[in-house]
Amino acid sequence: MATMFGIFVQIRNLRETSVARTEFDIVVIGGGAGGLVVAAGGASLGAKVALVEKHKMGGDCLNNGCVPSKTLLKSAKIAHLMRTAADYNIPPHAPSPDIGHVMERVAAVIKGIEPNDSAERFRGLGVDVIFGEGKFISPECFEVNGRKLTARTFVIATGSRPAVPPIPGINDVPFLTNETVFDLREQVPSLIVIGSGPIGCEMAQAFARLGAKVTVVDMAAQTMPVEDADLSRIVQHQMEKEGVEFNFNVSIMKVEGGKHDIRMFIKDKNGAGKSLQATHLLVAAGRRANVEGLGLEAAGVEVDKGRIVCDETLRTTNPHIFLCGDVAGGPQFTHVAGHHARILLRQAIFRMRWAKPSVHVPWCTYTDPELARIGLSESEAVKTGVAHKVYKFGFEEIDRARTEGETEGFAKVITTPKGKILGAAIVGPHAGEVIHEYVLAVNKGMNLKELSRIIHIYPTFAEINKRVADQRLKEGLTPSARAWIQRIFGLQGT
């Protein structure tokens, strides 16, 4: 014990003689999901932490991302269930949703969560919260409101913002993004959505269910282009049933008009033109990292084509400055930002220089049905030449799905020829919840047959994971294997 104490003393003395004295242990730039976890975690571990935020605590997720979008989707689903109640032998009702009232509920949910991310709460944790827009003035100093902050470790967690494509006329017409759509208090009779990724599809379905005539436009060939076509097709077909119109493989020539009168001109790959008209326009065409105005050149931090350069441990070209969340590039999800934060705490507090983010990132698009994935997809396996096998099972054979009347979709698992799980995807009810069994399996390098041995509660949607795993076991029960079993154990079946 005394020896261990001596080692700690030596480490402390070495650190104190080799590291210049700074005001803070950690300075976090950005009060979004990742920055808040770094700040709270650092303070709880005994670090002196400063948190700089130029706008709103909670960042994109709380104010105009995950929280408001999922709240809106719930209201939209209630409206949809009212219209389709006959499917459950209940008299249907055609609601007339008031967007203003719906958005008031969205605002109320945000307000209810805000205290968890408030400056008051973090100051209570011992974090020095500073509101203002600052910049690096040297590799060791960040200045905000005339105050110079020095730290052993800086964490840039400035997030991202909607990317607006260079479409002729786009800046001359009123358009919405995820940062402004939840401020709506007026009816939306018709809506054009640019982009068929997760945000575009979620908002398109929500507004269609709330009564808008919705048209989606994308240069891609399908909804959610990063997903396998057989998965995204299930979502697309459901949205089409609900009245959403899709225009794929098109270029947007120009946009014109004014408030409540948006006109868009598109051209398909064969050169055929078409005009679209709507009262509102939503841009959901990707996101850009917030890197401007941070004084990165003065800090010795390299930027390449609008992205901050970092290594696999999230360290920039300045060894004392790290990235967290969207600004680091890669998958842009709140849970990824939280994961980054925990990696950075190991780096900043415990000097675990080898700590780096997991390569296994799960995600979910919250359309109805949901689409969730972890690991390698079938199309990626084919494209990269990875030897693999595919196992699928549909929700129509899951009893819980039958009782709920939600049988559209399936689970698909990608394995090595020997059964090790490389990836999995689920399109169907509660896919974002059900996928977590595969998240664990992929991270632990499990074999598909191991899931077949686990008892799954009946009746649940999660039974589909066992049923997929059973497909591999049945695959091994060939006629010759069956004959050997009969012979060895004296069985009498035909």
Query: Residue 309: is its pLDDT beyond 90?
Result: yes
Average pLDDT over residues 219-239: 97
Q: Which residues contact 413 (CB under 8 A, 6 or more apart)?
A: 390, 391, 392, 421, 423, 424, 438, 448, 468, 469
Q: CB-hemisphere CA count at 13 Å for 211?
A: 14
Query: Residue 383: is its pLDDT beyond 70?
Result: yes
Round the CA-based radius of gyration of the chain to a whole number and report it: 26
pLDDT class of 492 with cuts at 50, 70, 90:
confident
Q: Which residues contact 472 (CB under 8 A, 6 or more apart)?
A: 389, 391, 415, 419, 448, 449, 452
- 457-483 pLDDT, tens digit per residue, is 999 999 999 999 999 888 877 788 878
Predicted local distance difference test score (pLDDT) of residue 317:
97
Predicted local distance difference test score (pLDDT) of residue 8:
46
- Contact between 191 and 281 (Cβ < 8 Å): yes
Considering only the C-alpha atoms of the chain, give the largest distance between any 2 of them, rounded to a whole number of Å: 88
For β-strands 421-428 and 370-375, DSSP reports them as antiparallel
Average pLDDT over residues 166-184: 96
Please state, as a whole number, how many other Cβ atoms lie within 10 Å of the Cβ of residue 11.
11
Query: Residue 348: is its pLDDT beyond 50?
Result: yes
- Contact between 183 and 103 (Cβ < 8 Å): yes
Query: Residue 3: is its pLDDT beyond 80?
Result: no
Predicted local distance difference test score (pLDDT) of residue 194:
98
Using H for helix, E for strand and C for coil, what is the string for 392-445? EEEHHHCHHHHHHCCCCCEEEEEECCCCEEEEEEEEECCHHHHCHHHHHHHHCC
Predicted local distance difference test score (pLDDT) of residue 20:
62
Angle formed by the axes of helices 229-241 and 198-209, to 10°?
20
Please state, as a whole number, how many other Cβ atoms lie within 10 Å of the Cβ of residue 115.
9
Query: Residue 260: is its pLDDT beyond 80?
Result: yes
Q: Which domains does the chain have, with CATH numbers?
A: 2-57+118-162+288-350 (3.50.50.60), 170-285 (3.50.50.60), 369-479 (3.30.390.30)
- Tell me, what DSSP letter sits at residue 356? -
In this structure, which long-range contacts are made by residues 402-408, counting pairs with CB atoms below 8 Å and at least 24 apart in sequence? 403/459, 404/429, 405/87, 405/88, 406/369, 408/234, 408/238, 408/369
As a whole-number percent, the residues of the chain with pLDDT over 90 amount to 89
Give the C-alpha separation, 62 to 179, whole Å.
11
Environment class of residue 241 by beta-carbon count within 10 Å: exposed (0-12), middle (13-18) or buried (19+)?
exposed
Angle formed by the axes of helices 198-209 and 66-83, to 10°?
40
Compute CA 63 distance to the chain's CA centroid, rounded to the nearest angstrom.
Answer: 15
Least confident span in 120-124, 164-168, 327-331, 391-395: 327-331
**Average pLDDT score, the chain:** 94
- 195-225 pLDDT, tens digit per residue, is 999 999 999 999 999 999 999 999 999 999 9
- Tell me, what DSSP letter sits at residue 464? H
Q: How far are the Cα atoms of 132, 133, 142, 156 from residue 146, in angstroms, in the given order? A: 10, 10, 10, 19
pLDDT class of 5 with cuts at 50, 70, 90:
very low
- 50-104 pLDDT, tens digit per residue, is 999 998 999 889 999 999 999 999 999 999 999 999 999 999 999 999 999 999 9
